[in-house]
Amino acid sequence: MDSIKNSHPAFSKSDTSKVNMSNEEWKKYLPEEVYNIARNKGTERAFTGKYYEHKEVGTYYCAACGNPLFSSNGKFESSCGWPSFFEPISKGSILYAPDNNYGMNRTEVMCGRCKAHLGHVFEDGPPPTGLRYCINSVILDFDKAKQASDKYKDGKKTN
Ligand code: FE
């Protein structure tokens, strides 16, 4: 997964400006498994994702553009087979769209910055929100809290 980090000019964990790239461009930058989820709205096989049972403290970013999406504080243990969160890291980090494919009435969730498909949100989550954001591991990129603060300090030294 390291190969995609910073591999396109718009990848950033701090720039909040929207990313508008064609699927042809995305295809050049994203590994096939990431492209299939992000741009073709695919789904990874249940119970196979690297963050399904992940419990470390830190932040989950969009693997396609770097946008912060979820905090480990918003993650909970769900039996559904995918990483599950009860809230996004901030309101604007996520976009929502109705998804009536496959004979179901679901709500799709997308990255608020680059519109990558992330997964779906359901109303069977725990308090305080009652929501379950069911997200593909493949489109997430995790940074441990300590790593994130070290990077911030390093950045300050060099700037
Ligand atoms: Fe994104």
Q: 57 Cβ partners below 8 Å, 6+ apart? A: 72, 144, 145
- What was the pLDDT predicted at 62? 98
Q: What is the pLDDT of residues 75-127, one digit of tens each?
A: 999 999 999 999 999 999 999 999 999 999 999 999 999 999 999 999 999 99
Q: pTM of this prediction?
A: 0.88
CB 129 within 8 A of CB 87: yes
Q: What is the pLDDT of residues 5-51, one digit of tens each?
A: 447 889 999 999 999 999 999 999 999 999 999 999 999 999 999 99
Q: Which domains occur in the chain, in start order?
A: 2-158 (2.170.150.20)
Nearest CA-CA partner of 107 in 90, 88, 126: 88
Question: What's the CA-to-centroid distance between 42 and ligand 1, angstroms?
Answer: 15
Q: At 10, phi and psi to the nearest 5?
A: -90, -5
Question: What's the CA-to-centroid distance between 66 and ligand 1, angstroms?
Answer: 6
Q: Is the pLDDT of residue 53 over 50?
A: yes
For residue 36, the tally of other CB atoms under 10 A from its CB is: 18
Active site residue 111: no
